[in-house]
Structure formats: C-alpha cells, structure tokens
Structure 1
Amino acid sequence: MTSSIFTEQYGRFRELLVQYRQARSITQAQLAEALNRPQSFVSKYENGERRLDLVEFLEISAALQFDPCELIRSIRSETLAEPTIMDEWKVTADEWTILVQENPSLRGMLFGYVAELKLREIISAFPGVRSLKKFDDHDRKKKGDLHIIYHQRVFSVESKSLQTRQIKFDVENQVWFGKAQVDASDSRIVILPSGKTLRTTLLLRGEFDILAVNCYEFSKQWQFQFARNRDLPCSSYKKYTPEEQCALISSLISVTWPPQPPFHSDLKSLLDEMLDAGEGSDPSEIGLE
C-alpha cells in the first residue's frame, strides 16, 4: 500500500501549507521559531521529506493563523470534484500538450488564465480577504481581472504577463529583466478625465487599483509582483496628445526580479498600505456587498 505521504492529496496538502505561509510573508525560519522547532522541520515537511501528524498540523495552523478545517475542506472538495474537462472531452495530457505547443495563441491565452488562477489561490490565503470576484471578461464596465474585498474595502487587480522574448538575466548581479505587456485585449472607447472620448487599446490611469505581473517566465515559479495603478508609467506613444498620454498607461512596462519600485513582491503589505491611505472602494459601489 502506498504511504500517504506520496499520495496526490498529501501533495496538495503540502502545497497549501506553503501557500498559507508565503501569503503571510513568513519565512521558514520564522515559522520554525514560532513552533519552537529547527528550520529543517519546516523545510522537510514542505518538501515532502517528512510526514506531519495531526498535532503538528494543528500547531502549524495556529502559528499561521488559519482555520485547519478550511484547508481540509479545500482538499476534500478537490478530491470529490466532478470529472475534469479533459475527462469529458477524452483528451490525454499528452494530447493537450501537443495542442498547446502547436498553437502559440492558444498557449498565450491559457497561460494568462492559469496565471489568474494561481493569483487567486495566493490571494485567497490572505487573512482579511473576505471575497474574491472575477467578473465576465466581456463586461467592459468592470475593469480588473479580480476584485478583492480586503478588510471591508474593494480593490481591483489587473493581471498581466511578461513578454517572453524580452527576458534577460544579469548573472553578475543575479537580477532578471523583462517587459510586461500592459494593455487591453482589444480596442475600446475610454473617457479621459477631461470628458473627452478616445478609442485605444491602452489602459487608463485609475481604471483599476493594482497591477499584478506574473513573473513565471523568470524562474519557472508562480510568483507575482504588484504596483499601484497611479505609480505606473504614462504612455509615451507619439500619436497621442500630452493630455492623452498622461491619462493612459504605457503598454510596455519594465520589470525586474527581485522587484524594484514601483513594484512590490508582497501584495498584503501593499494592500495594508493602501488601506491606511484610505484607498479602495465600498463593496456596495460595484455590487459586492
């Protein structure tokens, strides 16, 4: 009989424990100290080298301040989930891989949605997050891929990815460099602060609260960096007037890893900073009561 430590469910259990710790910006060493254990204890159970017992799990949940029943329910719901779309369509993982590899546009589209899903998983583990909402992609009145209710305020998050052909790594300084593609998927009419209308693919300053850039292509890990909308660079596209440039966000934004201003790697700290500044919206304003 296969040991439970090698099962898919236990693997998911470990993944969630890592997510819960990282969402709280707690290092392995800090958690180990809170548990009065060596860092190797945390490292080994997160890497699957050691199996946790029930008492240890409860101690970890108390140290990280999450409901252990919530984590168990999450794993159970996944275990009892309905057949996947791959089951329904009778498509194997190998066939799906071929489809993605042979169709770059399909890969790009799916990659963006996977990034959104990973971002939602990270955010949902934050203490203080009451709700996550994704509106219809075609609803142009509600810009932002995700809407978060965080401590009774709503923040809209726009998720974007790196351009894979512009990624570079500085070996000497151990820094990644890239460009994030930050624009709308199609042309639309926007209203500028002056009341003037403009057809453009660019996003507006103030149109959403936070930009989340998926940095998977840097190191093949699901990590994100975040910036306030107001701190993003304006467009410099010469076809626009100075007034229009100031109202529009640049379609290509430089990013690095580790992040440099205006970007942050810790979304929770950024949200707390924005809360302190009185930013965010009332949930009733966008139907998220």
Structure 2
Amino acid sequence: MTSSVFTEQYGRCRELLVQYRQAKSMTQVQLAEALNRPQSFVSKYESGERRLDLVEYLEIANALQFDPCELIRLISNEVLSEPTIMDEWEVTAQELTILVRENPSLRGMLFGYVAELKLREIVSAFPGIRAIKKFDDHDRKKKGDLHIIYHHRAFNVESKSLQTSQIKFDAENQTWSGKAQVDASDSRIVTLPSGRTLKTTLLLRGEFDILAVNCYEFNQTWHFQFARNRDLPCSSYKKYSPEEQDALISSLIPVTWPPRSPFHSDLRVLLDEMLEAGEGSDPSEIGLDC
C-alpha cells in the first residue's frame, strides 16, 4: 500500500469526504463540533495537510452517517478502471522492463523514486505520524526527500541508495556490506557555519535530519536503515580545507546488513530517541502543520 498522502486514491477519498459533508448540508465547523474537534481538524484533512488514521475515518463516517465500506468500494472500482501509464503510452510491461535494463541512467532515476515511495509506505504506517509531505524537487530551500511530523515535531529524511558495484556478501558470517552514495545530484552553493559559501555536490551537516539508505540491493527485498545527520562521517576529500571537511558529509558512507552504528534498522526507535533529545523542528517552520 502506498503512502495515502501521496496517491490519487487518497485525493479522491478527500473529495468524497467533502461531498458527503456537503450532502448533509454541514459546514466544517458543524462537523468539527459533531466530532468534538477543532474546525482546523476538518479543514486540514479535507485539504490534504493532515492524514487520517482508520479510527478517525470511522468517526467521520459515523458523524456523516455513511457506510465507510461504500467509499472504499467506490475508490477501488475507480482504481481498477483507471488506465496505467503503460496503457497511455501503449507499451507492455516487458517493453518497459527492456527500456529500464538497457538504460542504466533511467533505471537509477526510477529506482530512486521507487525507493522514496517504499519509504513513504513504511513511514505512513507508523503510529504517531501526523503528516507526510514531499516538496518540489526543484525547491532548493527544502532539502530532504520526505518531510514528516512525528507526534509534535517535524523531521526531514534524505533517501539514498547503495552503489551496486560496492556490494559484497560474506557467506561465512551471512552479512552484507556496501557503500551508499550520499551527495546531491548536482553542484550548488552551500553556506558553511562560518558564513563562507562553497560550490559543491556534497551535503551539509544539519541540512536534513535523518539519512535513509534503501538496502534493496543486498537481498532484493525492500528494507531501509537510518542514521542521524550529525552522526554521519565527514568528508575527507583533500581538496577541501579542515573547516569545509568538518561541515560536509562524506559522499560514500559504509553500510552493512545487519546495520552497525550509526545506523538503525527501525526508524521509530531513532525518532523516539530524537524526540527525547529535543531534536526536530517546529512543523510550521517548514510549512507543515499537524
């Protein structure tokens, strides 16, 4: 199941919830009163700013007096009849597979986006997740592939993949090792803690909160490991000064499975640690609100 915040199906679900409310001639304020919630609760889930959980959905269905299964069946039927991109382009799954395998750059790009999708699937199922958002890739002010609100704090997560050429399997110890490429897709101007600027492809300490490395290439299953930005190794590139090295994250970071420090296999454990330490940011600072 894909992250409900990002699918067309969830958008359709929101549209239907609005229609059900309007069919009852209820305002957002009146529905909120029936739910014993603030008006902003209704406004945010109808606009997509806030993700509903199952219990909340059932409460809304009860307040609006509609069958919750009816909405699900309606969306399911629409999804089944919706044409896929392969239908639109008139290509078969086999032809698309050949294109991806014959064009490594295309495979790498698609693989990265699929990894982000899988990451959203995992995160969206966590209790305590109040909102999930992906900002425009071209917005350089919003670094991070996935922005989430966990309980009352916002965290941005940078998603990266393993380099296939670096992967090794230790049959004796049943362990995997490799390296994740952790840098930007192109060079840009960054500001160092001293205020100096530098043009680089490397990422900064503090530029995001959590690194998520997808480990699909280890054993062909979708799983991730996670580390704090601050715990990642610094760059050792001799081209940079000591100040620059300390401020920049290494472009290649060793990764193993099972994970070793600073990585965690369970993002919830890491998030709870960060909450306890007072890390994360105010959701309103990055344009998110719960």
The bucket for the TM-score relative to the shorter chain is 0.7 to 0.9
Q: Distance in 2 between matches of 1:75 and 1:270?
A: 37
TM-score normalized by the length of structure 2: 0.74
Unaligned runs of 5+ in 2: 4-52, 59-67
Tell me what 1:67 maps to. 54
CA change 1:241–1:75 in 2 (3 A) is: farther
Tell me what 1:256 maps to. 256
SS at match of 2:159: strand
SS at match of 1:185: strand
Tell me what 1:180 maps to. 180
Structure 1 residue 77: deviation in Å?
3.9
1:18-37 aligned within 5 A: none
Tell me what 2:215 maps to. 215
State the Cα deviation string for residues 234-258 of structure 1 (Å, max 9, x = none).
0000000000000000000000000
Tell me what 2:21 maps to. none
Structure 1 residue 173: deviation in Å?
1.0
Tell me what 1:102 maps to. 102
Q: Distance in 1 between matches of 2:118 and 2:174?
A: 25
Q: Distance in 1 between matches of 2:202 and 2:243?
A: 14
Q: Distance in 2 between matches of 1:146 and 1:274?
A: 17
Tell me what 2:166 maps to. 166
Amino acid at match of 1:90: E
Tell me what 1:24 maps to. none
Amino acid at match of 2:124: S
Tell me what 1:111 maps to. 111
Unaligned runs of 5+ in 1: 1-11, 17-65
1:1-289 aligned within 5 A: 67=54, 77=75, 80-81=78-79, 82-289=82-289
SS at match of 2:94: helix
Q: Distance in 1 between matches of 2:77 and 2:208?
A: 35
Amino acid at match of 1:233: P
Q: Which has the higher contact order (CA 8 A, sep 6+)?
A: 2
Q: Distance in 2 between matches of 1:258 and 1:143?
A: 28
Tell me what 1:28 maps to. none
What root-mean-square deviation, in Å, do the aligned CA atoms of Structure 1 and Structure 2 show? 2.1
Q: Distance in 2 between matches of 1:221 and 1:248?
A: 31
Q: Distance in 2 between matches of 1:114 and 1:91?
A: 20
Q: Distance in 1 between matches of 2:94 and 2:241?
A: 50
Q: Distance in 2 between matches of 1:279 and 1:152?
A: 11
